[in-house]
Amino acid sequence: MNEIEITSGRMNPHIDPYLTVWGWEIPLYLFIGGLVAGILFFSTLFFLRGKEKEYSTAVKRISILAGPLLALGLGALFLDLSHKLYVWRFYTTIRWESPMSWGSWTLLVITPLSFLWSVVWIEDIWPSFKWPQKWMYNFVERLKNYKKQMAWTLLIGSIVLGMYTGILLSAFNARPFWNSAILGPLFLVSGLSTGAASIIIFSRSEAEKKIFSRIDIALIGLELFLLIHLFMGFLASTQVHIEAAQLFLGGEYTAAFWVLVVGMGLLLPLFIEILELKGYRIPVLIPSVLVLTGGLILRFIVVDAGQTSRWLYKFMQ
């Protein structure tokens, strides 16, 4: 009689020759996707609230980065594809049960819209700017009549994009550490936090910096809450999920995760931003860069840990 032992263990290509190993491209793509989701979320949200003059960096200036950043992220994703010439097949069908299909179609809508959204604000950002061709000027003027429709589409799309970056991983049931419904909300909140940090870096208004510091404090608190529940869920689950959690609770990812992500990327900027709001003069660049760095490292660690934790089947006679 065959006995099957199921446990988690280090990735071993000799045991699983069909295992796909993700390098730096996927974590970078997930980070940029979350960052762009955060930028577009705040840009469109504050526009729809009629705050484009009060929070001009959030609505106008930072939106210029969304399109190029998304193109950079898609470039990283393209480099990771094994069959690059067949990427067009994503758009020959829609599979409602597939996170990759949802993500592909979401990106197909958001990418051109993010460029168009930035175009309508160019003359507000640079008043002396002149379009080289008359037809360009006429096109942009007509486009401005649809800002509200674009804003609603991008607002909803940014939420889907931010969630998708986590759901993409959680759909891999064979990887115990990725197999959690909390990854979607966690990556969304992390993306919103990095978006808020970017706005703080580029803003010239003290009032705008303060409001986004408060927003970032709330988002960091929510991110810590989700991380706690992520590990609580693993520890209350099956043995293989407990072993996946133990990679961060005394295992090989313990120091990197708790020092670089939680300590440097969450708790330290949270403490600094609270001090700023209390009147202490601290360069806003410090907590913002820490948040961005922590968000990037989080993606690298989660992707690598997911490939490390796995179901290992041992067949014995």
Helices and strands (DSSP H and E) totals, the chain: 13, 2
Question: How confident is the model at residue 99, as a pLDDT?
Answer: 66
The answer to whether 111 and 67 are in contact (CB under 8 A) is: yes
CATH superfamily of 3-316: Formate dehydrogenase/DMSO reductase domain (1.20.1630.10)
3-state helix, strand, coil in the chain (%, to 5): 70, 5, 25
Alpha helices (runs of H) in 120-253, residue ranges in sequence order? 122-125, 134-143, 147-170, 183-202, 206-235, 239-246
pLDDT of 23: 73
Tokens representing 209 are 């910096």
Per-residue confidence (pLDDT) for residue 15, from 0 to 100: 33
Q: Is the dihedral of CA 107, 109, 112, 115 positive or negative?
A: negative
For residue 112, how far is the Cα from the chain centroid? 19
Q: Give the span between the Cα atoms of 7 and 2, in whole angstroms.
A: 16
pLDDT at 179: 83
CA proximity to 69, closest of 12, 120, 107, 20: 107
Which pTM value belongs to this model? 0.86
Q: pLDDT per position in the chain (317 positions), as tens? A: 333 333 334 433 333 333 345 678 889 999 999 999 999 999 999 999 999 989 999 999 999 999 999 999 888 877 766 666 666 666 566 666 666 666 677 888 899 999 999 999 998 888 888 888 899 999 999 999 999 999 999 999 999 999 988 887 877 667 888 888 899 999 999 999 999 999 999 998 989 999 999 999 999 999 999 999 999 998 988 888 888 889 999 888 999 999 999 999 999 999 999 998 888 888 888 999 999 999 999 999 999 888 887 665 433 34
Distance of CA 108 to the CA centre of its chain: 17
* φ, ψ at 39 (rounded to 5°): -60, -50
pLDDT, position 13: 37
Q: At 110, is the secondary structure helix, strand, or coil? A: helix
